DNA sequence: GTCTATAGGCAGATAGAC
DNA sequence: GTCTATCTGCCTATAGAC
């Protein structure tokens, strides 16, 4: 109470910057990066646009900070899930839960939204988006590998390939579910995709 | 050569309007609806912004026209595929080919892009986006039903539910593939998802 | 249908006082 | 760190001549 909170290495640069990122994150996830403006954030925070430029000189800086923070938080969650004493299917269920919580807040995954706007974004942001997807694909591949070792999953495809499909299916299910405001549909799709990892490569397949 | 081209009921209102829609469509699919402006289209067409407003009074009008045309064209393609003398799996392969062609042009599905920006769009556009997805889900469900009748597909889920999952998986695979500029990854994902329709509901599954 | 001209507003960004 | 003031440029949209 007497002294200022000690500033940990991982803590944000300032309270205003953090609150600005919070507001911006929601705006991007709901409306897109090209829609919102400094004025929207300034109004929400009760400060002036010029003050925001002190924390984030350009909109590209703000966007990059947004992505770095989002990825770091996701990384923490992923590590947390991986450490849980549950099987691979349970871990994927938790992973899906992360997405479902976002959708329930009428948002898209930050990187799903920014992947759509990808071509219009500054290069430093593009790099961070790929980095987010890389992180997720790597994590998913390792869980899929774990599920195979324990004979829970039986996919014919490589874990790398399956992880890409899974990531795309979840991002896409969110994307298509939102116009209908229907979280249940997303959950159903997610369950179907997870289930398809369990099925044995039965019939010969195509050809 | 002597007379003006006869104006069919389904033909565009004017050549300028059509060319404007062509340019706008590409811009939206690559950069998003909130990124492009009348100036971009006017420049590409070699006319003035004010002339564009003659054809599309507001940007919302342009957006709606874009969606109506896109859906109508998709509808034609879907009917064409359905009439082909090939099995359900072959029809889905053709359907995937539609998406792949779009991605190859460094674009996203128009409605995939607009679904991301959904919350920021005027209501008439939102309605058209849902309509596009409805059209696709209905078509996919009917093909899945056909594949089941012929014992090609063996999904446990309802065709309605599976069609939503399939649509989401394809839209999402496009979304995630684009930052990597990797059409092959999309094709691989699409093949995996189609394959999962064929697998038998083997093991007991969850619970 | 296309043009010039312009309105009226908002965008991202900077300078410099406090 | 926050403010006022301001710049420059672009945005959507309209009026009215040709």
Question: What local confidence, expressed as pLDDT, does residue A47 receive?
Answer: 98
What confidence tens digit (pLDDT) does each residue in A88-131 have?
Answer: 999 999 999 999 999 999 999 999 999 999 999 999 999 999 99
pLDDT band at B200 (very low <50, low <70, confident <90, very high): low
**Residues whose CB falls within 7 A of nucleic chain C?**
A 36-40, 49-50, 53, 57-60; B 13-14, 16-17, 46-51, 54-55
The superfamily (CATH) of domain A12-198 is Tetracycline Repressor, domain 2 (1.10.357.10)
Q: Residue A167 and residue B180: Cβ atoms within 8 Å?
A: no
Instruction: Say how many CB pairs under 8 Å bridge A and B.
Output: 184
* Residues contacting residue B51 through CB under 8 Å, at least 6 positions apart: B16, B42
Does the pLDDT at position A5 exceed 80? Answer: no
Question: What local confidence, expressed as pLDDT, does residue B201 receive?
Answer: 59
Looking at residues A176-192, what average pLDDT do you find?
98
Looking at residues A134-151, what average pLDDT do you find?
98
Looking at residues A67-78, what average pLDDT do you find?
98
Average pLDDT taken over every residue of chain B: 92
Q: Residue A165 and residue B164: Cβ atoms within 8 Å?
A: no
Which of B40, B163, B173, B175 to mutate: most A Cβ within 10 Å? B175
Which range, of A27-36, A104-113, A197-206, B142-151, averages the lowest pLDDT? A197-206
Q: How far is B28 from chain A (nearest CA, A)?
A: 10
H helix or E strand, kind and range, residue A94: helix A88-104
Question: What local confidence, expressed as pLDDT, does residue A14 receive?
Answer: 78
Of all nucleotides, the one whose C1′ comes closest to residue B54's CA is: C1
Does the pLDDT at position A202 exceed 70? Answer: no
Å between B106 CA and C5 C1'?
A: 38
Q: Which residue in the block uniquely carries the two structure tokens 């706008």?
A: B24
Does the pLDDT at position B2 exceed 80? Answer: no
Closest-CA residue to A140 (of A174, A170, A116): A170
A7 strand D contact, CB < 7 Å:
no
Does the pLDDT at position B207 exceed 50? Answer: no
Assigned token pair, A136: 């997720």
Å between A36 CA and D16 C1'?
A: 35
Is B90 an 8 Å CB contact of chain A? no
Does the pLDDT at position B4 exceed 50? Answer: no
Rounded to whole angstroms, how far apart are CA atoms B199 and B204? 14
- List, as own/partner pairs, every contact residues B79-85 make where C-beta atoms lie below 8 angstroms and the sequence separation is at least 24, other chains included: B82/B139, B82/B142, B82/B143
First to last CA, chain A: 71
Å between B58 CA and C5 C1'?
A: 19
Question: What local confidence, expressed as pLDDT, does residue A12 receive?
Answer: 56
Looking at residues B170-191, what average pLDDT do you find?
98
- Please list every residue in chain B whose beta carbon sits closer than 8 Å to the beta carbon of residue A168: 169, 172-177, 189
Question: What local confidence, expressed as pLDDT, does residue A199 receive?
Answer: 74
What confidence tens digit (pLDDT) does each residue in A32-42 have?
Answer: 999 999 999 99
Does the pLDDT at position B204 exceed 70? Answer: no
Rounded to whole angstroms, how far apart are CA atoms A199 and A193? 10
Report CA A170 to chain centroid distance, whole Å.
10
Rounded to whole angstroms, how far apart are CA atoms B189 and B169? 8
Q: Find the CB nearest A157 among B178, B179, B192.
A: B192
What confidence tens digit (pLDDT) does each residue in B18-39 have?
Answer: 999 999 999 999 999 999 999 9
A188 in Cβ contact with B164 (< 8 Å): yes
* Residues contacting residue B144 through CB under 8 Å, at least 6 positions apart: B88, B153, B155, B159, B162, B163, B166, B197
Q: Parse chain B into domains and list their residue ranges.
A: 12-198
């Amino acid at each position: 109470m007497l002294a200022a909170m000690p500033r940990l290495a991982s803590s944000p640069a300032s309270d205003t910057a953090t609150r600005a990122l919070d507001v911006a994150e929601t705006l991007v996830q709901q409306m897109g990066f090209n829609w919102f403006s400094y004025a929207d954030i300034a109004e929400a925070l009760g400060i002036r646009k010029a003050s925001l430029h002190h924390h984030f000189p350009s909109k590209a800086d703000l966007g990059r900070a947004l992505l770095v923070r989002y990825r770091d938080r996701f990384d923490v969650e992923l590590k947390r899930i991986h450490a849980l004493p549950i099987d691979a299917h349970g871990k994927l269920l938790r992973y899906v839960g992360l997405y479902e919580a976002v959708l329930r807040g009428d948002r898209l995954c930050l990187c799903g939204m920014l992947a759509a706007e990808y071509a219009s974004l500054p290069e430093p942001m593009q790099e961070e988006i790929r980095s987010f997807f890389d992180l997720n694909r790597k994590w998913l591949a390792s869980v899929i590998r774990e599920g195979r070792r324990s004979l829970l999953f039986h996919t014919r495809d490589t874990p790398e390939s399956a992880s890409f499909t899974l990531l795309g299916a979840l991002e896409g299910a969110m994307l298509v579910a939102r116009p209908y405001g229907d979280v249940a549909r997303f959950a159903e799709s997610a369950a179907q995709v997870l289930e398809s990892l369990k099925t044995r490569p039965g019939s010969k397949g195509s050809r």
